[in-house]
A and B are shown apart, each in its own frame.
Chain A
């Protein structure tokens, strides 16, 4: 056996830059990802606050921001969606927690390719800067929505933010793709090749399975988005017509923008297909939903088992359910395009495949409930957020089968029903997964405990707030309230819905205020919280066997050997009510 120094390919770095900035240590990189997401989530939240204020008080002027014009509103929703989806929901659960805990949980000293790991973080950080830069160029940030639908996104003259701002937006997404692909490559190789002795695939914690499957989805999906982005940039800057159809009219004028290099007007900008963009985008976009939510599922599984002091109910079923959710996720992109004029037979096929995802989702929910059933539940803050995750996953998921039916989707498409659905399941549920992970792993990451009272207040604020914001949106949608409209106050038929919109805005302000409880608790605990023990939650997985916070090579020169499955709680005959993965073997394991 080699010595620890040789095992860990790079020695512990000295000096601030190598240690905290361009670090090769997966733990530092994980924290960097987490902080990037933390900055991004507050930017995104601020944008949503501006939108909520504008919706109910359209003439209000915001200090330091000024008036919100209708096109500003579109800019806000574009940037809110983009920042939240890419730089929060994709970054924190996978890049943050995945980077920090995947290697430790499988007993590896680091990721498979540390340099690539560092590059993937810094690529993502550059993408974020480029994205924010779009706010500050002439014309401002784009207004084509986070889905960037062509031809709006393909023609620079189509709106104030569609000039340089849109180019920066596409460029940022393309850079983000590269960063995510590098990360995904690293995750997959690490899982397949770096597991400690005894850590079989079926002994991995479900968190590792979720990160692994998420990485596979990212590897297959981001390349397609990159392809779409390249075509879009060519349409915008080289005069090609991949997405621009003929006879396009904009504000009453027929347009054939900048006629390419050939100068033959007959051929320039004709015959492209806006639907082609939608296909490419949603082939990425739907798996992206699972990229955001799968790590949350892994964390919820981990926590529900730990805090119920019971083994996870149906470990293998959980693994196969996640695999089938990932697989089916690539077959359903058309359900975002029911209104595109696709053949009813195609729509039917997409509809059936979409509803089929309900089966593995129900298996997961059933198993979560089975896990906590008759458990000795410890209602500590990580557990509360895990239960909140399940609650939001069910509430948000149940509106899915409605939207999955083309007949209902015709009515509900582009109404508030859709934001209600995807915010609950993809937004808030995934955020609850991140919060659960934060409260659970914070002691290991920073060596101190978070304040439990503040955490519980934060939980109730967030849970009640999230439901107060997004539940009423279902009713707005069913009442026919269109989404993406910036001004509601002057429309007669929306007037009866305005009080509900005002209620949502108040709820949003309160919920956002509640998040500062978290922010305060996070930074205060980091420096002033009580010192954490090595295993404060009496958990079983490998990260709790090492010291707090873990040493540079994770296990202090020891190479862990795994003898047990990840969820050996309340094992009959065992000395304690939990058996760690490195303890001498008990029972059958997994």
Chain B
């Protein structure tokens, strides 16, 4: 996959991680040891980007722990017998939920597609950020750049996914699976609902990125917001695949 390495003249090469397709945000920014060039807190935008990604990686950890907790609860509850008060005997009350498969598969495809458009948006703005210094040189023209509104498309796809999830919950209710009436459906609503809430957070971040673009904030700021939102969005897509697989395979 073609990657673009934005090395802005006079800046540290740490920004080079920006174009690495599929590379996770770095856990450690390589900072601190005696070869560090500048003191902490410089407004150098490569450093700010690295810091934002590091913060995001930290922020994703508790989300991961949240779903690890739900998963362990899910697996344990599935195997747990319950006391039937009428017969005073232990019975297994776990009913596999009749999931709306087609709808969920369509939703999954929509989300994966949105992850792709998000990546295109991220690369687009990375390119812009890298070329911006060149465009400022007098006499240099980069010609007219065509910018496809990948960010807006991602937002629309994200909202479409949420609407699709809403329809899936309606379908579940139509089939008689409510939040509270079977233990398995409680978990289905819990896992999909918590994912939807976190994805809605991503949609808000996308809207914020759009607002920043409309407000004509500096390109660097926009790039950091888009970049961090993109990694968050990819994480949400992976998380959905995990949740879907869990619901499909552990029934």
Contact = CB atoms under 8 A, between A and B. Distances in A.
B218 to A, nearest CB: 13
Given A219-B58, A260-B181, A200 B83 contact: no
Interface string B171-183: 0000010111111
Interface stretch (A141-149, A186-194, A303-311): A186-194
Q: Which of B41, B54, B83, B176 has the most CB of A within 10 A?
A: B41
Given A109-B41, A112-B55, A230-B194, A197 B80 contact: no
B interface bracket (residues with beta carbon within 8 Å of A): 35 or more
Interface stretch (A265-273, A412-420, A515-523): A265-273
A181 B62 contact: yes
Contacts of A272: 77, 183
Given A193-B40, A201-B32, 4 more contacts: A109-B41, A197-B37, A231-B73, A260-B178
B76 interface: yes
Interface in A99-142: 106-110, 112-113, 116
Given A113-B55, A197-B38, A270 B179 contact: no
A192 B84 contact: no
B85 interface: yes
A226 B180 contact: no
B220 to A, nearest CB: 13
A246 B55 contact: no
Interface string B51-74: 100110011011111101110110
Interface of B: 28-29, 31-34, 36-44, 47, 50-51, 54-55, 58-59, 61-66, 68-70, 72-73, 76-77, 80-85, 88, 93, 176, 178-183, 186, 190, 194
Interface hub of B62, B80, B190 (most chain A Cβ within 10 A): B62
A223 B39 contact: no
Given A219-B58, A241-B183, A254-B85, A262 B176 contact: yes
Interface size classification for chain A: 35 or more
B32 A200 contact: yes
Contacts of B82: 245-246, 270-271
B69 A280 contact: yes
B73 A223 contact: no
A173 to B, nearest CB: 14
A201 B62 CA distance: 24
12 contacts: A6-B43, A112-B55, A181-B62, A186-B55, A193-B29, A200-B32, A219-B62, A226-B62, A247-B83, A261-B178, A262-B182, A271-B80
A192 B37 CA distance: 15
Contacts of B65: 220-221, 223-224, 227
